[in-house]
Amino acid sequence: MGTGKDDPGTVWAIPPEVCPARTVVEVLANKWVMYVMGMLRHHGAPMRFNQLRRSLPGITQKMLTQTLRMLERDGLVCRTVHPTAPPQVEYELTPLGREAGEIAHAVGEWSAAHADEILAARRDFDNRASGELEPVSP
């Protein structure tokens, strides 16, 4: 594999400081991020950990904890600990998280509107790739 800029075999790693979109896409591409943000957005009020977990079938306690910590670190979720016994912890979207939630919601709506087309394209591709159908000539 070549190392030159014009070599098509070269893989270019674009650092996040040069391409901020890379950082954002890496966050939103996480398997559970859009579900967690979507649930917090849909609920419209702070949610407790177990309330969130019950609302997201299939997510483990460990994965929800990791996802919430990542979202909190990125400033998308606010974690509030209330001084009660036992301590009550709530999570809600920050203003930045609400704005990102709008984008995630739009992606979800687009996905729902076009999922059938994407699945049909995948089936067509897989059928052609498996040799079941002859490729269409241009």
Domains with residue ranges and CATH for the chain: 20-129 (1.10.10.10)
Question: Which DSSP letter does residue 58 get?
Answer: T
Amino acid identity for residue 12 in this structure: W
Percent of the chain scored above 90 by pLDDT? 61
Angstrom distance (rounded) from CA 95 to CA 92: 10
Q: How confident is the model at residue 137 (pLDDT cuts 50, 70, 90)?
A: low
CA distance 25 to 13: 15
Other C-beta atoms within 10 Å of 85: how many?
Answer: 5
Which pLDDT value is given to residue 30? 87
22 pLDDT higher than 90: no
Write down the residue that tokens 């079941």 correspond to: 132
pLDDT band at 84 (very low <50, low <70, confident <90, very high): very high
pLDDT at 11 over 60: no
Question: What pLDDT sits at residue 60?
Answer: 96
Contact 71, 33 (CB under 8 A): yes
